[in-house]
A and B are shown apart, each in its own frame.
Chain A
Amino acid sequence: MKLIACIKQVPDTTEVKVDPKTHTLIRDGVPSILNPYDQFAIEECVRIRDQIGDCSVSVLTMGPPQARSALMRCLALGADEAILISDKAFAGSDTWATAYTLSLAIKKIGFFDIVFCGQQAIDGDTAQVGPELAQQLGIPQVTYVEKIEIDNKNKLTINKQTEDGYQILEAKLPLLLTLLPPTSFQPEHPPMSSILKAKRKPFNIWDVETLGGDKSRFGLDGSFTQVIKTYTPPKRGECELIEDNPKEAAKKLSKILCKNEALTKR
């Protein structure tokens, strides 16, 4: 069997600060990390691989050369080979162009059974690339996946998170999953020995020529959307925090609302 995981390197948003004057994000000097949703996806992917045996995991990302470190981490976490899709032609891709580019890479890999994606990336938070990629590949998809069990090599049992609980689904292969870690998820720290082994695993870099495809569909030209500006909304007023037991807090809240004429007293 062949499993493919698509991952993204993102800025560590806990370290991102906002420029108070321009309200834009200051990304300079912010460390890059493997998108936490993708860490869950890769750990699940490796777990399934180990369960099946006779199965390999390819991990791929589209990004600048420095995205290599995120792929190296995936190799240290157990993936068997890494592919970095990197070319200036891909710069400015929105989710659709990204999905198209990834789909070409997956088609180039050829045979696969399951594609694993993180539910979303913590920088863009769109949650679109996974579903769009399934569309481009013409395969079924299941989103919000928390747990996967493989019964035999043909059928998956999937726990899909919903607002109220879970849906238990069965699915045939091939398909694409987007994974959402449960709140109890504790990311694994790769062992030093695995980091050493990662260096010896196959690592490929594919550019626009290697991928082929319709060049007008790459990068900014192939994107339907563009990010014009990133900013933090200005503060809309002072916030007052009411700290008390629920009964007292409710009384205080209603008083404040009445005082501000948000509520009228009968």
Chain B
Amino acid sequence: MDFNLSEQQKQFQKVIREFCVKELKPIAPKIDKEEYFPFDLYKKMGKMSLMGMTVPQKYGGAGIDKVSYMIALEEISRYCGSTGLTVEAHNTLGCGYIYEHGSEEQREKYLPNYTNGENFAALAITEPNAGSDVAGLQTTAVLEKDEWVINGTKQFITSGDIAGVTIVMAKTDKDKGAKGISAILVEKDTKGFKVGQLEDKLGLRGSRTAELIFEDCRVPKENLLGEENEGFYGVMDTLDRGRTAVGAMSVGIARGALEDSLEYANQRQQFGRPIGKFQAIRWMIADMATDLDAARLLVYRAAFLEDKKLPYSKEAAMAKLFASEIAMRATNKAIQIFGGLGYLREYPVERYFRDIKLCQIGEGTSEVQRIVISKRLGL
């Protein structure tokens, strides 16, 4: 057994950290406060092959292993949760889905254009009446001659308004529940496809969250991604990957809370000494650090299993569940350590607190993770 990162993984971490400290950290407050979407930054990230990390190099990606991908997501999310989510959704849900479940033609058509940071890919599952219950989705796609005709509304779609291509999950056989769902690629500006409202969120305000409306939206038959009526498996597979990734995001945000708390506890003087010398603060920080290490190890384990092509569904759910829950606690503690200042928007810890909440909800709520874990345990 070996807990060390490889030389290459350390190098990824170093390069991404340098990039984030220099390019991302300074604009993170603006991204949050102004709901600013830094297109130029994503282009730079495209050049660094961060916008197609696990996509093989022959399709323009970086072709790195899953553990390295988690390292990258932790680094990015450490400095900006909004950017972390945008990168995660694009890499895992968008490019990841196309690569894992697309035909060779679809990979060649889309991936090179979607790994350069110029274009975004989105995955549209959630609907007003289908959240945790994916099988209950109501959007339909009917094959008429050589075209799919899509009708329905999707909501909470990350990067949905800016995506050049969206993978739309739709019922293609109404009678079959989960076994009647298919994934269909819909390109931007397709007739009958429009963006509805953009959500005004608690946190991760620099990531875009859109409602998507399909009214007799017609796309070619070849836009079917994967097999007809087997989309549910594609979604479950992609969400497994996404869970580890949201775990890594959570680890990044929790690390921000810890690092900032540590720095503040060493500087802030009360009763004639730094507050970090008081047991109350030390215990909080010790717990944050312990939780963080445990969460990171769970994330690495799930990614490691995926790299080894071993089952990792339960482990991914555990990683997401644990990492998002401990990160919620860590950001809460960070505000407590900062006291009144922690409550101000001038300091980043309140941002971490708002940002992390989504990680307990998105890509499967904590409750859904517990369902997945308990099912895998035989319940």
Q: Chain A interface (Cβ within 8 Å of chain B)?
A: 68-69, 72-73, 76, 189-196, 199
Contacts and interface: CB of A to CB of B under 8 A. Distances in A.
Interface hub of B48, B64, B68 (most chain A Cβ within 10 A): B48
Contacts of B50: 192
Interface residues of B, number: 21
Main secondary structure of the interface of A (DSSP, over half): helix
Contacts of B47: 191
Nearest to A192: B62
B12 interface: yes
Contact of B68 (A189, A191, A192, A199): A192
Nearest to A199: B8
B68 A69 contact: no
Contacts of A189: 15, 18-19, 44, 48
B11 interface: yes
Give the secondary structure class of B's interface.
helix
A76 B18 CA distance: 15
Contacts of A193: 49, 57, 61-63
B105 interface: no
Interface string B1-30: 000000110111001001100000000000
B53 interface: yes
A196 B8 contact: yes
B48 A191 contact: yes
A72 B6 CA distance: 13
B275 interface: no
B12 A192 contact: yes
B64 A192 contact: yes
Nearest to A194: B49
B253 interface: no
Contacts of B10: 69
B72 interface: yes
Contacts of B63: 193, 196
A192 B48 contact: yes
Nearest to B55: A193
- 6 closest A-B pairs by beta carbon, nearest first, are A192-B62, A191-B49, A193-B49, A192-B49, A193-B62, A189-B19
Nearest to A72: B11
Contacts of A196: 8, 57, 62-64
A62 to B, nearest CB: 20
